[in-house]
């Protein structure tokens, strides 16, 4: 459930008409609903608690939408942060999320990032490989502390979704194999500068079937038991993120309650473990839209109709990158008969096509449209391609809104560049 709905003939975010935001901030612009973010977080966490999973750490995946105001909204409810770079750790800290709720993941952490994470005192560093384990041990020794580590294990489970976002197969670059895990865990247990806390997995994103999760989580439980049987202490089990959301083109996928109930069953009777989760999309996707204006409608005499928007693939890359579906809604509701359109941006490549042959009501220059479900991996993946200023972001709270990231000026866009001083 989200708080984008038509009121009085116009699409609103909570009690704020989207046209009001377009007038004040211009388009394209991302618009997020505070109430929806809060609801999604609360529903997710409550479902886990209800399923008997104790007091789980819900470390929201910053990569989905790392705007500091979004992080602060979730952090105020008790959310932690799953981070994959020094920049993301800094965002989480800037949002007031305490270090003991921050998880640091990622396959290629640099020495500098590891040092920063250890000095910050993050709750766990998720180790993805043996070379990385060595590096963490070295850095921890140089700082004279014990690094809290969790081994990310690759459960070798295929998890549907798009190939570019599946992470849990042995051929993917993520995590140590089950075979390596026990040996590395034992080595780390005997190391004066490493403090192995537990194990983690993350099998992919936009997963709309519980079976692969169940397979992976059962294997993870088996691993916890096997490690314990060898005398090792395992107190944390991080089950990653990945739960899918409805993108309006599919029947409702399993929600947090189904997901949590399945985990409750798989983990029944497993004692003395604190569970951690790293949800991103399920919290943020349906809490945001990308608002755009129609620049013009180009109707070819042969019949193709191109609806050209002022938003482009640099603002929302998911359709170009993953053939992702986003519902596109006119902000002003109409009963006019829909006609098929190709919805495109102004960027000079054919990939800048959001969709083809999508039935839409007739729209003209200046009309507003909203790309639904764009709150996750939307602004976070935006770029300045074609020298288009980074898209701004707005957070709505009832009938008020705040510009939480403004549109840069052209001077700001050019400010980091220095012409080389040679001829």
φ, ψ for residue 222, nearest 5 deg: -60, -40
Q: Does 154 bind ligand LLP (CB under 6 A)?
A: no
Q: Which stretch binds ligand LLP (CB under 6 A): 38-46, 276-284, 296-304, 359-367?
A: 276-284
348 classed as catalytic: yes
Contacts of the segment 168-174: beta carbons below 8 A, 24+ positions apart: 168/201, 168/202, 168/203, 168/204, 168/212, 168/216, 173/107, 174/107, 174/128, 174/202
- By CB under 6 A, the residues from 66 to 85 that bind ligand LLP are 82
- By CB under 6 A, the residues from 311 to 350 that bind ligand LLP are 318, 322
Least Å distance between CB 179 and ligand LLP? 21
Among 205, 208, 286, 293, binds ligand LLP (CB under 6 A): 205
Q: Cis link prior to 28 (omega < 30° from 0)?
A: yes
How far is the CA of 142 from the CAs of 112, 139, 193, 272, 399, in angstroms?
Answer: 12, 5, 9, 32, 52
Question: Residue 200, Cβ neighbours under 10 Å: how many?
Answer: 26
Angle at alpha carbon of residue 4, lines to 277 and 325, rounded to 5°: 70
Least Å distance between CB 128 and ligand LLP? 9
Q: Are 360 and 328 in contact (CB under 8 A)?
A: yes
Q: Does 237 bind ligand LLP (CB under 6 A)?
A: no
Cβ-count burial of 112 within 10 angstroms (0-12 exposed, 13-18 middle, 19+ buried)? Answer: exposed
How far is the CA of 234 from the CAs of 194, 220, 229, 271, 319, in angstroms?
Answer: 14, 12, 10, 10, 41
φ, ψ for residue 318, nearest 5 deg: -60, -45
Give the residues across from 292 on adjacent strands: 369
- By CB under 6 A, the residues from 24 to 63 that bind ligand LLP are 61, 63
- By CB under 6 A, the residues from 83 to 142 that bind ligand LLP are 105
Of residues 60 and 401, the one with the C-beta less far from ligand LLP: 60
Q: Are 306 and 298 in contact (CB under 8 A)?
A: yes
Of residues 242 and 256, the one with the C-beta less far from ligand LLP: 242
Q: Does 17 bind ligand LLP (CB under 6 A)?
A: no
Question: Residue 384, Cβ neighbours under 10 Å: how many?
Answer: 12
Of residues 149 and 294, the one with the C-beta less far from ligand LLP: 149
Among 101, 202, 326, 405, binds ligand LLP (CB under 6 A): 202
Among 17, 80, 212, 279, binds ligand LLP (CB under 6 A): 279
Q: Does 236 bind ligand LLP (CB under 6 A)?
A: no
Among 56, 75, 196, 280, binds ligand LLP (CB under 6 A): 280
CA separation for the pair 370, 374 (Å, rounded): 9
- CB contact set of 356 (below 8 Å; sequence gap of 6+): 342
Least Å distance between CB 17 and ligand LLP? 28
Least Å distance between CB 63 and ligand LLP? 6
Of residues 191 and 318, the one with the C-beta less far from ligand LLP: 318
Of residues 61 and 291, the one with the C-beta less far from ligand LLP: 61
Least Å distance between CB 64 and ligand LLP? 5
Among 377, 388, 393, 401, binds ligand LLP (CB under 6 A): 377
Q: Are 241 and 82 in contact (CB under 8 A)?
A: yes
Of residues 127 and 341, the one with the C-beta less far from ligand LLP: 127
Cα dihedral value 116, 121, 122, 125, nearest 10: 70
List interacting residues with ligand LLP (CB under 6 A): 61, 63-64, 82, 105, 165, 202, 205-206, 240-242, 278-282, 318, 322, 376-377
The residues annotated with a catalytic role in the active site are 348
């Amino acid at each position: 459930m989200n708080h984008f709905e038509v009121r009085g003939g116009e699409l609103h975010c909570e009690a704020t008409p989207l046209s009001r935001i377009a007038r004040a901030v211009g388009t394209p612009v991302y618009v997020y609903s505070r109430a929806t973010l809060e609801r999604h977080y609360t529903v997710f966490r409550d479902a886990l608690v209800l399923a008997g999973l104790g007091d789980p750490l819900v470390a929201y995946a910053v990569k989905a939408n790392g705007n500091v105001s979004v992080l602060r909204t979730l952090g105020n409810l008790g959310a932690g942060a799953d981070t994959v770079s020094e920049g993301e750790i800094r965002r989480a800290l800037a949002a007031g999320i305490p270090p003991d709720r921050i998880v640091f993941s990622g396959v290629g952490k640099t020495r500098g990032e590891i040092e920063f994470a250890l000095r910050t005192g993050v709750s766990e560093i998720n180790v993805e490989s043996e070379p990385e384990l060595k590096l963490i041990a070295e850095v921890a020794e140089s700082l004279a502390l014990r690094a809290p580590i969790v081994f990310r294990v690759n459960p070798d489970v295929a998890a549907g979704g798009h190939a570019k976002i599946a992470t849990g197969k042995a051929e993917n670059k993520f995590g140590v194999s089950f075979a390596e895990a026990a040996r590395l865990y034992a080595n780390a247990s005997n190391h004066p500068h490493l403090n192995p806390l537990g194990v983690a997995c993350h099998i992919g994103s936009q997963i709309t079937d519980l079976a692969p999760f169940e397979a992976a989580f059962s294997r993870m439980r088996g691993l916890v038991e096997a490690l314990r049987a060898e005398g090792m202490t395992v107190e944390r089990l991080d089950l990653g993120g990945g739960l899918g959301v409805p993108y309006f083109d599919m029947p409702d996928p399993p929600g947090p309650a189904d997901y949590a109930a399945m985990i409750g069953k798989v983990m029944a009777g497993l004692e003395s473990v604190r569970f951690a989760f790293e949800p991103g999309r399920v919290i943020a996707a349906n809490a945001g839209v990308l608002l755009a204006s129609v620049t013009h409608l180009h109707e070819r005499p042969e019949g193709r109709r191109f609806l050209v928007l002022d938003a482009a693939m640099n603002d929302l890359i998911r359709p170009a990158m993953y053939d992702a579906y986003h519902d596109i809604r006119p902000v002003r509701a109409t009963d006019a008969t829909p006609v098929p359109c190709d919805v495109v941006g102004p960027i000079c490549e054919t990939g800048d096509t959001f969709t083809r042959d999508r039935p839409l009501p007739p729209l003209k220059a200046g009309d507003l449209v909203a790309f639904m479900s764009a709150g996750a991996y939307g602004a976070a993946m935006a770029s300045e391609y074609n020298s288009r200023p980074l898209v701004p972001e707005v957070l709505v709270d009832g009938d008020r809104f705040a510009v939480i990231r403004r549109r840069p000026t052209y001077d700001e866009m050019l400010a980091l560049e220095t012409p080389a001083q040679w001829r």
